[in-house]
């Protein structure tokens, strides 16, 4: 019985790499701040579910849905919903950070476009563009800091700005 089990495990281990694929989904947690007509002027915590239809060593395309909440410690709490696409096209594999980091990494500059709305009034639509120049990809995680955001509110026809202080993306499947 042990021999049969050992042979089955060995055969499974041989064939698993043939059917493996790159990461296709996961989650993202980010901390943002905005100065515009729609968002509250406090920090916002966002949680996104991600689907990645294309990932290679030259870049990636991510589709996501996001729920964003204002600081839950300060009442009232505001909620926002977003959907968008993120494009990573500029990739540097031999970074100056390689000697400082334990894991292999690549520096990816990412551009993110999304459309969102506050849950309290879905008629107010906000279009956002975010550029992440400081983004490190570790194979199953991406860490980005200090990403500027430009917002445009369609109802009030006004521009605003924001910053994504920290963003952690973790690919699970």
Q: What is the pTM of this model?
A: 0.80
Q: Cis peptide before 93, with omega less than 30 degrees from 0?
A: no
Say whether pLDDT at 45 is over 90: yes
Look at residue 162 in the predicted model and tell me its pLDDT.
94
pLDDT of residue 46: 95
Q: Average pLDDT of 131-145?
A: 89
Structure tokens at 143: 């860490």
User: Which is more confidently placed, 30 or 12?
Assistant: 30
Contact 147, 122 (CB under 8 A): no
- pLDDT (tens digit per residue) in 81-129: 999 999 988 777 777 766 666 667 778 899 999 999 998 887 889 999 9
What is the pLDDT averaged over residues 16-20?
48
CATH of domain 22-171: 2.40.160.20
Average predicted confidence (pLDDT) for the chain: 83
Instruction: Say if residue 147's pLDDT is above 70.
Output: yes
pLDDT of 18 over the 60 cut: no
> Using an 8 Å Cβ cutoff, are 139 and 146 in contact?
no
The secondary structure of 4-39 as a DSSP string is HHHHHHHHHHHHHHHH-----EEEEEEEEEEESSSS
Domain ranges of the chain: 22-171
């Amino acid at each position: 019985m042990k021999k049969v089990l050992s042979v089955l495990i060995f055969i499974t281990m041989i064939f698993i790499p043939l059917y493996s694929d790159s990461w296709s989904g996961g989650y993202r947690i980010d901390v943002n701040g905005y100065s515009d007509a729609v968002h509250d002027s406090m920090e916002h915590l966002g949680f996104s579910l991600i689907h990645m239809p294309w990932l290679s060593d030259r870049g990636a395309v991510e589709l996501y849905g996001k729920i964003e909440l204002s600081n839950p410690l300060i009442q009232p709490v505001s909620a926002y919903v977003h959907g968008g696409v993120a494009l990573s096209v500029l990739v540097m594999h031999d970074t100056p950070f390689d000697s400082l980091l334990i894991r292999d990494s690549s520096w990816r500059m990412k551009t993110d476009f999304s459309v969102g709305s506050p849950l309290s009034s879905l008629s107010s639509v906000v279009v956002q563009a975010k550029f992440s120049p400081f983004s490190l990809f570790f194979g199953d995680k991406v860490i980005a800091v200090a990403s500027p955001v430009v917002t445009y509110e369609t109802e009030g026809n006004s521009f605003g700005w924001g910053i994504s202080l920290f963003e952690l993306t973790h690919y699970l499947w």
